[in-house]
Structure 1
Amino acid sequence: MTLAATAPVHAVAVRHLSAAAATRLLGAWQGAGPAYLALADGLRSAVLAGSLTPLTRLPSERDLAGALGVSRTTTSAAYARLRELGFATSHVGSGTVAVLPRGQARSAAPQPPAGDAPLPDLGDEHAVDMSQATPSATDALHGAYARALEALPAYLSGGGYAHLGIEPLRAAIAARYRARGVPTTTDQILVTTGAQQAIALLAGTFVARGDRVLVESPTYVHAVGALRSAGARVVGVPVGDVEAIGSAVRRTGARLVYLIPDFHNPTGRTMTADERHALGRLTARGVTVVGDETLTDLDLDDVGVPAPFAGDGSDPRLVSVGSASKSFWGGLRVGWIRTTPQLVQRMARTRQQLDVATPVLEQLAVADLLARRDEVLPTRLADLRSRRDLLRDLVLARFPSWEVPDPPGGLCLWVGLGRPAGQALAAAAVSEGLRVAPGPQFTPDGSSVDRLRLTWTRPPEVLADAVDRLGRAWDRVAGR
């Protein structure tokens, strides 16, 4: 059935997909049938999977034909097919723009960069979402809020805007760094509204439009979005490859490097102490190195992690980002930056243009949870560990040909499919009422087309159901 496009006929593109990027995004798109149908299906699958964001202007028919080595007749027919299905709209002077059909999209408004956009609404109250690495709240959260309410009256006589963060929370965060071997004072901590705001503030502070920024590829998708919003030209480097990162800094003149040192999202890898030390030396080139430690607490196998990425705390260009989202609950929306007192003051002034300050009640709750983390985290880690083991066992049993890692921490499996079918599988899963994240969503260049990220944050019965749905989708993709 043909669906009408949700976007207006004269949809205005908010970004552009180059022919080279489209080629990487499509991967092995050709099949046994007509080329134009295969090409249209590949682009449609990318939209459904979330790898091709709505309101992206597609390459011209001529440019795409040249990049793919096909005739312009093929690309013209493919675009016509997308328009027929409601996945594209064209207008003279605007080119062809990708859209989502009615019933598939939540909104026709301009969406964030690829990977940040909401995925299609599955339209099913029994749908399963495994695309988000967001665990449910720790059981200790209710008690933390109760104690926070008891402490709140002491703050009610003021205006409620603690631009740097309330003192008890900043002190608790500083104490956490000191306990891990990094001398830290309260004035080195800026409380933010989640780690996402922390990354955005750092990007806005250190990155000028057109600057190159290095990230691991794959990486946390919203970090790429924040960097690009600041005008950065994001360059991907292999995860954990210290030599490649150093070489890329010299080659590109990068101003900032963003890394996830502990239980990397999505691969689960943890950097060694030697790797951290080597990367820390990049600051001698005038590069700011940001270590996102949001996942540091999620050491499911008790393997231990090296000292914080800030090293001994003396280098002002080694900056750490943290958050309560994964350790306790994403709904708290409390994050932080550890850096120099001067930079804390500078970013505090900048963040007032965004949201002034982080809510006091949530800060009080996080301060309470940090003070009780030794009694709170073991139960949380045991629960996440059992879910990880269950998901891994289910995936290994259902998909014996896949590459299934055994990460010692974090929240996700970065599985290898053995073929460039990540986007096709994510698109096919939509019809099963399942949302999963394809590999290209986590890369700045649309690579990792043979990968899929699966999170284990849902209850056991939901994980089992999700793997069943994924199996049915895979059977279709694999042609069985």
Structure 2
Amino acid sequence: MGPAELADRLGRWSAGRGPLYLLLAARLRRLVDEGELPPGTPLPPDRTLAATLAVGRGTIVAAYEQLSVEGRIVRRRGSGTRVAGPSRPGPREATTAPVFLHLLEPRDDDVILLACAAPTSPPPMLQSAYERALSQLSAVEGDMGYHPSGHWPLRGAVADLYTRRGVPTDPEQVVITNGGQQALSLLARAFVQPGGTVLVEAPTYPGALEAFREHAASLHTLPVGLDGFESRIRTPGRRPELGYVISSHHNPTGNVLPSLARRRLAAAAADADIPLIDDEVLAHLSFPGQDVPPPLAAFGRTVISVGSLSKSVWGGLRVGWIRAARPVISRLARLRAVHDLGGDFSAQVAAAELLPQLETLCQDTAADRQASHDHLRAELARQLPQWRVPAVTGGQTLWARLPHGDGDSFTQTALRHGVAVLPGGGLDAAGGSQEFIRLHFCAAPGTLTEAVHRLATAWHAYGGEPDRGTPGPRVMAV
């Protein structure tokens, strides 16, 4: 692609606040993710593009390097810069990014999806909740259903849920969202300025990374649990705008942050007046006899809790929430109203019926989830004994370490053998975790057995040798 054509597609890329290289990287990232720059597209040389955009060469170099770390472009001496992935002759597919969405589109093959973690069937309890909700809807009068902050009874049910868990909460401290991903997007929009620093775990949930990158955040990584957060925020001139942590049944490692570590983390954030997002989407998914400590919000006033029913109940129930201080909730409600005057009213009424029973529902399914976890680990140990796959105490995923090779290239081999898994590099903002892949254990035992058989066949074909070609595109997954 010539520099003039690229400049035209970039549009008003510099119209924003923050370093130019981050603004340019953010716009290029969007063009790649939306398919405007398909895999294999050559990008102009540094100096040529700098002259066209009337910026210094260092701006182009820094933007390219940022996208290279993320795996979106490949830079090679002597062969230039290209969008990651092989070039595709002819018309491109309807969507090229995120790959997760592509995997969920109707397919003629029988690929087993171990990259997308969520219950695949609604429980009977949800049907009962909808039946009760429909009877309530028949009596609704004088209500348009426009509620940017959410259905008031549902906000009350969420508040009660936190109160039962030791965090006294008022309904005015809750805003309802269309799932946990919209919650993260709203928070990124509210708190992240272009070029602002967000502290994240490495690895972490990739949907959060994409939400922050969408607003041109500068992502700085710390180990799981945000270990080192206190010393990092004390570094002069490097104050972060936001922190993001998954304290319970961490996605992807399964880690549960101990009470003392929660107390210190929340206190440090409060002392520095730094908003700290605690992603609690998986918090209720403990195995039998495995309790988690109180929510992070119990220990600090700047903690913002995010929850959702898509992991604990059903992926198709797009109801989530944010619990925070009242001023934060008011701000988020105003931001949401710009894009959405409210969520699905009937789903929220059903969720309000269901939420008081959430702990019971999760307890009832805990033994089955643990059995699936144990079954998947046993099959992996039997067919792929070289892999290191630690046990977890809840959640939905296993973090598997390959003995050699890399996750990016192996996942491509696995997909050709009929199973989709998530490469670890896409979950690490620092570009690490290349030797890992993420698997979920939400499927039925028979499906998991077949998936491991296909993984073993793929591993044999792969040979464990790293692919020296270009890595596959980053995967946004849940």
**TM norm. shorter chain > 0.5:** yes
Structure 1 position 351, deviation (Å): 0.3
Tell me which residue corresponds to 1:41: none
Unaligned runs of 5+ in 2: 14-31, 48-60, 69-74, 466-478
Q: From the superposition, tell whether residues 284 and 103 of structure 1 become closer, same or farther in structure 2 (CA, over 3 Å).
A: farther
Work out whether 1:352 is the aligned partner of 2:322. no
Structure 1 position 119, deviation (Å): 5.3
Structure 1 position 325, deviation (Å): 0.9
Q: Any idea what SS the aligned residue of 2:449 has?
A: helix
Tell me which residue corresponds to 2:257: 271
Work out whether 1:189 is the aligned partner of 2:174. yes
Q: From the superposition, tell whether residues 334 and 104 of structure 1 become closer, same or farther in structure 2 (CA, over 3 Å).
A: farther
- Match for 2:231: what amino acid? S
Query: What is the CA–CA distance in structure 1 between the aligned matches of 2:166 and 2:104, rounded to whole Å?
Result: 45
Which residues in structure 2 correspond to 1:65-80 (within 5 Å)?
A: 75-76=77-78
Q: 1:280 aligns with which of 251, 263, 266?
A: 266
Tell me which residue corresponds to 2:72: none
Question: Does structure 2 conserve the Cα–Cα contact (< 8 Å) formed by 1:56 and 1:97?
Answer: yes
Structure 1 position 75, deviation (Å): 5.0
- Match for 1:143: what amino acid? S
Structure 1 position 232, deviation (Å): 1.0
Query: What is the CA–CA distance in structure 1 between the aligned matches of 2:40 and 2:187, rounded to whole Å?
Result: 28
Q: From the superposition, tell whether residues 254 and 58 of structure 1 become closer, same or farther in structure 2 (CA, over 3 Å).
A: farther
Work out whether 1:422 is the aligned partner of 2:401. no
Question: Does structure 1 conserve the Cα–Cα contact (< 8 Å) formed by 2:290 and 2:393?
Answer: yes
- Match for 1:189: what amino acid? V
Tell me which residue corresponds to 2:328: 343
Question: Does structure 1 conserve the Cα–Cα contact (< 8 Å) formed by 2:40 and 2:88?
Answer: no
Work out whether 1:142 is the aligned partner of 2:127. yes
Q: Any idea what SS the aligned residue of 1:182 has?
A: coil
Query: What is the CA–CA distance in structure 2 between the aligned matches of 1:144 and 1:201, rounded to whole Å?
Result: 28
Q: 1:250 aligns with which of 223, 229, 234?
A: 234
Deviations 1:452-478 (A, max 9, x none): 101111222111111111111111222
Query: What is the CA–CA distance in structure 2 between the aligned matches of 1:458 and 1:317, rounded to whole Å?
Result: 37
Structure 1 position 403, deviation (Å): 0.9
Question: Does structure 2 conserve the Cα–Cα contact (< 8 Å) formed by 1:390 and 1:460?
Answer: yes
Work out whether 1:260 is the aligned partner of 2:254. no
Deviations 1:312-344 (A, max 9, x none): 5xx541111111111111211111111112221
- Match for 1:290: what amino acid? I
- Match for 1:407: what amino acid? V
Deviations 1:108-159 (A, max 9, x none): 56x35xx766459895431111110111222322111111111112335311
Deviations 1:62-95 (A, max 9, x none): 999xx9xxxxx98546x7xxxxxxxxxxxxxxx5
Question: Does structure 1 conserve the Cα–Cα contact (< 8 Å) formed by 2:155 and 2:171?
Answer: yes
Q: From the superposition, tell whether residues 479 and 420 of structure 1 become closer, same or farther in structure 2 (CA, over 3 Å).
A: closer
Structure 1 position 235, deviation (Å): 1.2
Question: Does structure 2 conserve the Cα–Cα contact (< 8 Å) formed by 1:402 and 1:417?
Answer: yes
Q: From the superposition, tell whether residues 296 and 370 of structure 1 become closer, same or farther in structure 2 (CA, over 3 Å).
A: same
Q: From the superposition, tell whether residues 422 and 310 of structure 1 become closer, same or farther in structure 2 (CA, over 3 Å).
A: same
Question: Does structure 2 conserve the Cα–Cα contact (< 8 Å) formed by 1:334 and 1:363?
Answer: yes
Query: What is the CA–CA distance in structure 2 between the aligned matches of 1:98 and 1:104, rounded to whole Å?
Result: 17
Question: Does structure 2 conserve the Cα–Cα contact (< 8 Å) formed by 1:440 and 1:446?
Answer: yes
Q: From the superposition, tell whether residues 61 and 227 of structure 1 become closer, same or farther in structure 2 (CA, over 3 Å).
A: closer
Work out whether 1:298 is the aligned partner of 2:280. no
Tell me which residue corresponds to 2:473: none
Q: From the superposition, tell whether residues 58 and 383 of structure 1 become closer, same or farther in structure 2 (CA, over 3 Å).
A: farther
Identity %: 35
Q: Any idea what SS the aligned residue of 2:234 has?
A: helix
Q: Any idea what SS the aligned residue of 1:381 has?
A: helix
Query: What is the CA–CA distance in structure 1 between the aligned matches of 2:192 and 2:110, rounded to whole Å?
Result: 43
Structure 1 position 431, deviation (Å): 1.1
Deviations 1:27-70 (A, max 9, x none): xxxxxxxxxxxxxxxxxxxx9xxxx9848867969999xx9xxx
Q: From the superposition, tell whether residues 166 and 120 of structure 1 become closer, same or farther in structure 2 (CA, over 3 Å).
A: closer
Tell me which residue corresponds to 1:309: 296
Alpha-carbon RMSD across the aligned residues, in angstroms, is 3.3
Question: Does structure 2 conserve the Cα–Cα contact (< 8 Å) formed by 1:165 and 1:357?
Answer: yes
Query: What is the CA–CA distance in structure 1 between the aligned matches of 2:312 and 2:439, rounded to whole Å?
Result: 19
Q: Any idea what SS the aligned residue of 1:320 has?
A: strand
- Match for 2:298: what amino acid? G
Structure 1 position 231, deviation (Å): 2.1
Structure 1 position 380, deviation (Å): 2.1
Q: From the superposition, tell whether residues 454 and 103 of structure 1 become closer, same or farther in structure 2 (CA, over 3 Å).
A: farther
Structure 1 position 307, deviation (Å): 0.8
